[in-house]
Amino acid sequence: MGDVLVWLIWFLAAGGLLASGAAVVSVSNPFYSALALIANLASLAVLYLLLSAEFLAAAQVLVYAGSVMVMFLFVVAYLGGRADAPWAGGPPLLRTAALVAAIALLVEVVVVLGLAWGDNLSDPAEISAAFGSPGAIGELFLTDHLLAFEITSIVLLVAAVGGVILGTTPRRRGENEHRREA
Amino acid sequence: MNAAVTGAWVCLLAPLAGALAITLAGERISRRTAGWISTLTTFVAFAGALDAFIRLWARNHGDREVLSTAYTWLAAGDFEVGFQILVDPLSTVMMLVVSGVGGLIVWYSMGYMAGDDEERRYFAYMSLFVFSMLLLVEAGNFLLLLVGWGLVGLASYLLIGFWHERAEAVAAAKKAFVVNAFGDATFALALVLLVWETGTLEYPSVFERVDGLSSTIVTLVALGLLGGAVAKSAQIPLHTWLPDAMEGPTPVSALIHAATMVTAGVYLLVRTSPVFEAAVEIQHLAAILGAVTLVAAGLIALVQWDIKRVIAYSTMSQIGYMFLAAGIGAYGYAIFHLMTHAFFKALLFMSAGVVIHHLHGEQDIRRMGGLRAVLPRTHVAFGVGTLALVGIPPLAGFWSKDGIIASALATGGVLGWSLYLAALVGALLTGMYALRLYFAVWQGPPRETEDEAHTHASGQSEGPLSMLVPVGVLTCLSTIGGLLVVPGLWKPFEHWVEESAEALVHPTVAQDYATSVVAVALGLVGVWLARRAFEHGRQLVTDPTAWRILERKLYVDELYDAVFYRPAAALAVTLRQDVEGPVVERSLDEIGAGTLHAGGELSRAQSGLLRTYAITVAFAVSVLVVVFVAVR
Amino acid sequence: MTQRVDWWVSLLQAFVVINIVMGGFAYLTLAERKVMGRMQLRYGPNRVGPYGLLQPIADLVKLLHKESFRPAAAIDWLYLLGPFLAAFTALATFSVIPFGPGWEIAGVYVPGQVADLDIALILIFAIGSIGAYGFIVGGWASDSKYALLGAMRTCAQLVSYEVALALSVLGVVIMAGSLSLTEIVAAQADSTWYVLPQIVGFLVFLLAGTAETSRAPFDLPEAEQELVAGYHTEYGGMRFGLYSMAEYINLITLSGLCVTLFLGGWHGIGFTPDWLAPAWFVAKVAVLLYVFIWMRTTLPRLRYDQLMRFGWKVLLPVATLNAVVTAILVVAL
Amino acid sequence: MSGPGVGWYLILSAVVFGTGALGVMLRRSPLIVLLSLELMLNAANLALIAFARQQGDLDGQVFALAVMAVAAAEVAIGLGLIVALARRDLPLDVDQASALKG
């Protein structure tokens, strides 16, 4: 019964993921697009839980859905009518090329996956209860991946400084209070 | 840990603290405060040195060697170097000399430098120098010794070029630095060889293993060390920087270029004597270089006109004696002469400083004369210094210099006799140039500049108290400082130093006194010659060719110019014209033009549109995936 | 450590807890009106029932009977989604807060909270941050200037103070060495209530929490003099009721969290029998709620730039410093 | 692990990635381009975490966390740019922003 339940949840989450992903790309209003991405993130969080990545699921919801996307909605609301841009357009050649490229990528990935399917994608490893816990991930970050951790922190710092500078325009100084959330 | 080491650490760190305090305080303290900080920290260092000395004295004979490690400074595999100091009889003597004489000179500087625009910088440099010199003499291993060695070079460079708006001072500082860097390089190479061959830089283990090395290696190591010593101590052939270094302030000349730094070479020879004893040829080479230097410098000193340059050549000459002593293994006398020389040479420089101060910067002895009436106390001090230099008993120079000459006699053989003769010639020359200087400055009728100065500064005394007291102290020391070694009577100093480095020769009492008679007689002959020349109003060197050769300092500078500088400059010009221009620059131009052209063509692909980029990337990736899959 | 819990027990427990919390919300509104009344030298509601005790019921009935109108330009489904999202997340957060040690009732194990998770603390913040969407979506969908401005203020304020809030808790996490609320409570029983060593964290948490729940003096999003009623200007009837409920339940949850993290959770002073644990928990929460009401009647509202400056330039550095110092001390001692 | 194998997650990830790529290549609103980019990053994250589960090795999760942090930074800067564009009354249309043209 548990097996069926997992499959059911997987199908629901996968369906949500695909549908919301399609919505992100296709709707014309950025506000809806952002909402769709939030739904997408929620579906992803469910999938992460199925993959025993509890901490990542929570972090995803907290950081991504909770803060980043709130900021996104904030900006969309702030821009109001100016946020609307033409859906697509440009030369039809460009559109065709884009479609061809995307489909080519997709087909290739599926083909590559199909080639590898039988060999080593079938049986997942045994894992302990601590798999995906904050403690285990934190320890990895401070030992094996310390450099990556430090570089990430520098990237964040640079982004924070960049955000402040972008928000501080000489023309209207008073408005940059909101931008600091970056 | 025992207290002897505490004093030594205090001695080492007090001047550093002073230098840091002055530097960090900047303009928040007055110039005078800066001077006091520097002076007092140096005297604190002296107190520490005294403490260390007394406590070491109290220990048993043969147990007077304490190594104190603060922490492991460098470690690479088995190789370890600690930040450590060595307190033994030799280093305590050096500590006392450096901090004691140093303290007096820094104190003197407060009067001499008063009113200079950058006194704070000056005192910070002085403290830095004292720290570096103490680090050099207290260093507990070769690497730390090299650190101190380099730092004194730096401090010397900074202080020679202290008046950096004067082109000559800057040039002299550069010259000193370059020549010293040459010595530092050979020194460092010697250390590299040592690490390579013995795997350690600790004194005891190096000295222990040095006998096991091949003679080539030992010779090379000794040669490298000697190179460092020769450059630092301004011995021929690396002596050219010292006379030029007189561009610095006079207290600097007294401290660095007479009393302490230039004698570091002698200290090195004595400290590392086991290495030199394992490479006898090189040790003898040191003695020979010393002998050559002491004669050549004495000769050049006969014809110089600049008061400070005369004293500078005299310094070279006296250090030649010390090298001679260290080279034949008379370590006790080498260090003894180092100490007495520090007293009377610092005294000479400081008295000369009073004269220069009085004459508002005039240094040419042709424009001096008859100052005895104006500066009576300085005259006495200068006179004592001169007689001590010449080696008239019972002044300090007599005891130490004659000990060296007697040791040369005791060595015997062709080498010993040649050195003996050279040293005696040196004694004669010393009498001549020292008295020539003395008469030119103090006796005779006053010259015109002096008149001007007199009218300008009517009522001016011989300088502030801070200048006179150190001069007085040094006068006393120059008078009685030599009594620490009286042949046949007692030799506490020699025994003390020789606990660190056992001497190879011990002159008999008879040799000692016989030498003294000859040497003093020769000195007096020199004095008599100078007196006669002065009375007849002519120079000591009358032959114009000889005069010219000596005035051009034996053409060493010209030789270096011709051998090293000109070929290098010519090569550089050739390379610039024939390689840099046509080959390198032209090719760069071509590459640049080609890149520019290619860039111009390629830039047409840069549409600036996000979507075209994204599509291009996507296509590229899909192609790459196909390639990778196909290749696998 | 964790005993197996039957799924129907959890379901039943969730039902009970939700109802208790909703009841708590109802009487919190009454308590707030009464307390504020007394502080402002008036009586507060006292007509419906003895001492006005039935006032919440009357309010509920009124809200339910109101006509549910909405602006013509509002975006239907988002306009409806907003209040539900807000109320749902507010209720969901309470599920991980422990209010007792767990009991054995008639052979069935009943845990001390609805769900015991290793990462409960992160989960609370995660769900809490989702709650912000209820406000911004509702405000945006109303298609009204006041509502939009209120929503944007809420948005900025929530995101800003969430950082300080999360950082203020870090000290507790470092000291307890766990993100699990039950373990944090247990760690406090072993040592001391973290309000003592973490007094700085506690104060920052209290201030940032006040801002997170948009309570006075940080109630900028609903500043009635400037914005009518903020993001729920265009809401009426039970939809307004849901927003109101979300805010009050958030306040209760925050107080519960504060009790759990800093005030020893359900542990009492001295020996506490297991059955009395929830009472201690409720008592501590009640005290905190009283403090919040007290603050509302006492302190004047901040200006918006002051609010932002306070959050970023005061609370955030203090919280960071607190976390760093705590980390150093924990490692050093 | 009961339920779907890693391959299913990977296919899912590929499809979402393709969708995101399509959005980046087709849409003209910079906001939606940014959102599509996030979609692509998340698809990559899903693949990383799926592999982490399959290998029983947390490295993949660590990378995913780093990707999240970088994505947050990227959104912050992207939004900053968009707001800066809007403040200068420039059109919010990636086809009209070609100042970097060579």
Confirm whether D102 is domain-assigned: no
What does the alpha-carbon distance between residue A120 and residue A84 come to, in Å, rounded to a whole number?
46
* CATH number of D47's domain: 1.10.287.3510
- Matching residue, tokens 């990778």: B628
Q: Do D94 and B606 touch (CB under 8 A)?
A: no
Write out chain A residues lying below 8 Å of D81, CB-based. Answer: 166
Q: Which residues of B touch A (CB under 8 A)?
A: 611-612, 614-615, 618-619, 621-622, 625-626, 629
Same-domain check for residues A95 and A84: no
What does the alpha-carbon distance between residue B333 and residue B156 come to, in Å, rounded to a whole number?
26
Q: What is the count of residue pairs from A and D with beta carbons less than 8 Å apart?
A: 260
- Matching residue, tokens 């969290």: C257
CA torsion, ordered C241, C245, C246, C248, to nearest 10 deg:
140
Considering only CA atoms, which of B621, C295, B123, C183 is closest in space to residue A104? B621
Q: Residue range B66-93: average pLDDT?
A: 84
Q: Does residue B71 sit in helix, strand or coil?
A: strand
Mean pLDDT of chain B: 87
Which residues is C93 bridged to in the sheet? none
Nearest residue of B to residue A105 by CA position? B622
Considering only CA atoms, which of B441, B385, B427 is closest in space to residue B525? B427
Nearest residue of D to residue A103 by CA position? D18
What does the alpha-carbon distance between residue B422 and residue B427 come to, in Å, rounded to a whole number?
9
pLDDT at position B188 is 93
Nearest residue of A to residue C120 by CA position? A58
Same-domain check for residues A84 and A3: yes
Q: Residue range C244-260: average pLDDT?
A: 87
Q: What is the DSSP letter of B445?
A: S
| Whether the Cβ atoms of residue C256 and residue C97 lie closer than 8 Å to each other | yes
Same-domain check for residues A1 and A84: yes
Number of structural domains in chain D = 1
pLDDT at position B458 is 43
pLDDT at position A171 is 54
Confirm whether D47 is domain-assigned: yes
Number of structural domains in chain A = 3
Considering only CA atoms, which of A38, A44, B617 is closest in space to residue D12? A44
ipTM of the complex model:
0.74
Same-domain check for residues A70 and A40: yes
In chain B, the percentage of residues whose pLDDT exceeds 90 is 32
pLDDT at position D31 is 86
**C116 CB within 8 Å of a chain A CB:** no
Confidence of residue A181 (pLDDT cuts 50, 70, 90): very low
Q: Do C305 and A70 touch (CB under 8 A)?
A: no
pLDDT at position A87 is 64
pLDDT at position B148 is 92
Residue A102 domain boundaries: 91-121
Confidence of residue A89 (pLDDT cuts 50, 70, 90): low
Q: Residue range A150-168: average pLDDT?
A: 86
Nearest residue of A to residue D2 by CA position? A3
Q: Residue range B595-612: average pLDDT?
A: 82
Q: Which two tokens stand for residue B360?
A: 């508002």
Q: Do B618 and A105 touch (CB under 8 A)?
A: yes
Same-domain check for residues A64 and A80: yes
| Whether the Cβ atoms of residue C235 and residue C143 lie closer than 8 Å to each other | no
Q: Residue range A71-85: average pLDDT?
A: 77
Judge whether residue C73 has pLDDT over 50. yes
What does the alpha-carbon distance between residue C43 and residue C89 come to, in Å, rounded to a whole number?
34
Confidence of residue C223 (pLDDT cuts 50, 70, 90): low
Same-domain check for residues A7 and A80: yes
**C144 CB within 8 Å of a chain A CB:** no
Which one is predicted more confidently, B423 or B505? B423
Same-domain check for residues A66 and A96: no
Same-domain check for residues A56 and A96: no
pLDDT at position A88 is 61
Judge whether residue A99 has pLDDT over 60. yes
Same-domain check for residues A44 and A58: yes
Q: Residue range C98-127: average pLDDT?
A: 79
Same-domain check for residues A58 and A112: no
List, for residues B35-67, the tens digit of each pLDDT value. 999 999 999 999 999 998 888 888 887 778 888
H helices of chain A, in order, are: 2-26, 30-50, 54-59, 69-79, 92-120, 134-142, 146-167
Cα separations (Å) of B620 from B421, B557, D27, D43? 89, 69, 20, 20
pLDDT at position C3 is 61
**A8 CB within 8 Å of a chain D CB:** no
β pairing state of C103-105 and C108-110: antiparallel
Same-domain check for residues A97 and A135: no
pLDDT at position B40 is 93
By Cβ distance, the residue of B602, B605, B608 closest to D98 is B608
**C320 CB within 8 Å of a chain A CB:** no
Confirm whether D100 is domain-assigned: no
Judge whether residue C167 has pLDDT over 80. yes
Q: Does residue C155 sit in helix, strand or coil?
A: helix
SS3 content of chain C, % helix, strand, coil (to 5): 70, 0, 25
Confidence of residue B495 (pLDDT cuts 50, 70, 90): confident
**A23 CB within 8 Å of a chain D CB:** no
Cα separations (Å) of B362 from B244, B358, B477? 16, 9, 28
By Cβ distance, the residue of A61, A73, A177 closest to C126 is A61
Confirm whether D49 is domain-assigned: yes
Nearest residue of D to residue B622 by CA position? D18
Cα separations (Å) of B242 from B231, B352, C170, C232? 10, 17, 66, 89
What does the alpha-carbon distance between residue A118 and residue A125 come to, in Å, rounded to a whole number?
16
Residue D11 domain boundaries: 6-89
Confidence of residue B149 (pLDDT cuts 50, 70, 90): very high
Confirm whether D96 is domain-assigned: no
Chains C, B in contact, 3 or more Cβ pairs below 8 Å: no
Q: Residue range A116-144: average pLDDT?
A: 74
Q: Do B619 and A112 touch (CB under 8 A)?
A: no
Which one is predicted more confidently, A52 or B310? B310
Judge whether residue B588 has pLDDT over 60. yes
pLDDT at position A2 is 63
Same-domain check for residues A64 and A99: no
